[in-house]
Amino acid sequence: MSAPHKEPPPSCAIVIFGANGDLTKRLIIPALYNLARAGNLPEQLALIGVDHNDRTSAQWQGALRDFLAQSLAKGGGGAIDDKLWNPIAEDMTFLKGDFEKDETYKQLGDLLADLDKKRNLGGNVLFYMAVADRFFGPIAGKLGEAGLVRQDQGGFRRLIVEKPFGHDLESAKALNACLLKYLKEEQIYRIDHFLGKETVQNIMALRFANGLFEPIWNRDRIDHVQITVAENIGIEGRGNFYEKTGALRDMVPNHLFQLVAMTAMEPPVSFDAEDIRAKKAEMFKAVHALTLGDVVRGQYDSGVVAGQQVAAYRKEENVAPDSNIETFVAMRVLIENWRWAGVPFYLRTGKRLAARSTEIAIRFKRAPYALFRETPVEELDADWLILRVQPDESIRLRFNAKRPGPAMALESVAMEFKYKDWFHQAPAVGYETLIYDCLIGDATLFQRADQVEAAWGVVEPVLKGWANTSPRHFPNYNAGSEGPSAANDLLARDGRSWRTIK
């Protein structure tokens, strides 16, 4: 979460399209509550919820309070603090409206003008599209046509866009063109909740603020990098969505590639948002074009996860019985620049795997063996730097040490830093920093148009190749396993192996 010493952002209105949706209940409202706890909400804040449901403002506020109370109790966060919640709830207004009708935006404009006068909001508005991606273009267009995103009145007008940002390169370009027709790039905040994780943000601090790491963060000292985003859950009733999306579209151009960018980007000249985002875009442009031989796809069968028998993907609700949609993808990525030439980045993500785990594992090259030639050391383990993003945010350094005793026997040991032990973090859902940054106008952690298109450009050859070839032997991994055997072969041909998912 944002540091408590920061000044509160300017007074503003936040308009949430999809006010009754899952994203609003699970993430946006809890994040705002946690920002209030940290003293990082605007002094004057108006919350406007827009959705098609027929309900009053009091009913909307009550439903969100009930859900927040349940979430806090389930997560061990205690009861709602009314001193924090009541000011938020008092500022909630619900507007029933169709996202694609002009009348909705006329009513919204009138409501914003009225609230701005009453609460002296300075003309500042943050629009949040917490809706299905098919509404991104229509909502942006209607806001533009209604004049609601113009910044000629002195205040800011910003738009948060959730993922998926396009389904391929062509649709990403089309969406960018639609948004940029009505808004400037500086007004658009393409959000990826992975970048709200403290461990992900800390990659820049780890690399650039420590003389210990930056000199060895290159091809001279690093053998390869493994990035894993593993989930032990299935598709959670989202069959209709997943059948159109699959693991690659859902996770790779956004979540996984954001982790790659933070790990591999060149040092920026400053921590200014544009300097950082420019370096990320440069990194994507240096990625070697992928071929089908660089990528493995899989689909889960039935199996046992956490002691429970679970169904195969093809048996899930709203999934075709002969579906060829992938629930797992692994790939070998090469970055052709001076820092990373010859250093493979191995990426994998999947559903129904052995455990829930997100980590960036950096393997350093082995030390020379000569010194230990006459000792009982059979194999000198390589050193690892492991950045754990979830479930427990931590940084671990594995290295070799002498085991006690008369013989020169080595053992791999670990030093570990855990965020919760050192900083005693307040409860967070991962959106606090991102929403706060939107409010203050800091775009550092958000994707720029060229970065989005460059990321889709990397996977475009794979998407086209898969469209013309059917996968063989689907399903090809059991639920509760570490994925298909072909993913192991991907590394084995380079003389390497995956870290265990745990």
**What angle do helix axes 449-467 and 257-264 make, rounded to 10 degrees?**
130
How far apart CA 108 and CA 39 sit, in angstroms, is: 28
Beta strands in 338-431 (DSSP E): 344-350, 357-364, 384-390, 394-402, 410-418
Residue 355 has pLDDT above 90, yes or no: yes
DSSP symbol at 100: T
pLDDT in tens, 440-450: 999 988 999 99
DSSP symbol at 129: E
The full set of domains in the chain, from first to last, is 12-162 (3.40.50.720), 195-492 (3.30.360.10)
User: Position 258: which residue type?
Assistant: Q
pLDDT band at 54 (very low <50, low <70, confident <90, very high): confident
Provide the pLDDT for residue 2.
Answer: 40
User: Which whole number is the average pLDDT over 310-337?
Assistant: 96
Distance of CA 166 to the CA centre of its chain: 15
Q: Report which of residues 470 and 379 the model is more confident about.
A: 470
Per the annotation, the verdict on 424 as an active-site residue is: no
How far apart CA 502 and CA 499 sit, in angstroms, is: 9
Q: Closest Cα to residue 359, out of 199, 207, 219?
A: 199
The most confident of 56-60, 269-273, 375-379, by mean pLDDT: 56-60
The most confident of 57-61, 270-274, 276-280, 325-329, by mean pLDDT: 325-329
pLDDT in tens, 141-199: 999 999 999 987 779 999 999 988 999 999 999 999 999 999 999 999 999 887 877 77
Provide the pLDDT for residue 376.
Answer: 53
Residue 11 has pLDDT above 60, yes or no: yes
Provide the pLDDT for residue 380.
Answer: 60
Q: Mean pLDDT in the chain?
A: 89
Residue 381 has pLDDT above 90, yes or no: no
Residue 414 has pLDDT above 80, yes or no: no
* Percent of the chain at pLDDT exceeding 90: 64
Provide the pLDDT for residue 4.
Answer: 44
pLDDT band at 201 (very low <50, low <70, confident <90, very high): confident
Residue 78 has pLDDT above 50, yes or no: yes
Provide the pLDDT for residue 335.
Answer: 97
Q: Concatenate the DSSP letters of all residues of 296-363 into one string.
A: EEE-EEEEEETTEEE--GGGSTT--TT----SEEEEEEEB-STTTTT-EEEEEEESSBSS-EEEEEEE
Residue 5 has pLDDT above 60, yes or no: no
Residue 412 has pLDDT above 90, yes or no: no
Q: Which of 193, 255, 288, 424 is catalytic?
A: 255
How far apart CA 219 and CA 142 sit, in angstroms, is: 49
Residue 378 has pLDDT above 60, yes or no: no
Least confident of 72-86, 132-146, 185-199, 289-303: 72-86
User: Position 424: which residue type?
Assistant: H
Residue 417 has pLDDT above 90, yes or no: no
Least confident of 16-30, 73-87, 270-284, 338-352: 73-87
Provide the pLDDT for residue 3.
Answer: 44
